[in-house]
Amino acid sequence: MNRYSVEDTFAVAEKGIQDIEAFLASFPASLSIINVEKHSAFQKKDIDLLWVYLDNDKETMKRIEAKIDRYTSGNFFFETVSNEQKGTPGCFLYTEADYLFYYFLEWKTLYILPVEEVRSWFLQNESRFKEKKLSTSVGNDFYTSKGRIVPIKTVLKECPSVKRHQLA
């Protein structure tokens, strides 16, 4: 089981969010990117960013959940249990975001996954993928998350609307 500190996790997330916000801001149609990570109403829905942009001269908003990872295994980690000790569901199962922006910090590679499509596919195929536990320390305590290890190449092959972007 991998172990991480909450401080390390926050530092990685902060850098990843900055890269994602810069990516969204680079589109000429972008009007605003609103970071809602610290707003409790959005935390309950597992939404990190609101992206407002013009689509055919119409203002449009998309809700984004950002997942930032530092490893380079070639896999996604789709969280099914966020805190095993409390029995809370994983963000991948309950997020109300339109898109999951899965960003690999070391590679500077961003995958944009339409949540409803990929979640539906995942739930139909979950048993194909190995379960893994991750432990995160918080002071002297810790919590354990569970999820499935899903090869990126499998998702790209079986969910054609997933997009890949290389960030500078």
For the chain, the domain total comes to: 1
Domain span including residue 84? 2-166
Please give the mean pLDDT across all residues of the chain: 90
- pLDDT at position 5: 46
In the chain, % of residues over pLDDT 70: 90
User: Mean of the pLDDT values across residues 67-88?
Assistant: 88
Please state, in angstroms and rounded to a whole number, the distance separating the CA atoms of residues 125 and 70.
25
Q: Locate tokens 């194909």: which residue?
A: 128
Q: How many CB atoms lie within 10 A of CB 46?
A: 21
- What is the mean predicted confidence (pLDDT) over 50-69? 96
Are 124 and 137 in contact by the 8 Å Cβ rule? The answer is no
Confidence of residue 127 (pLDDT cuts 50, 70, 90): very high
Judged against a pLDDT cut of 90, whether residue 139 lies above it is answered with no
CATH number at residue 72: 3.40.1350
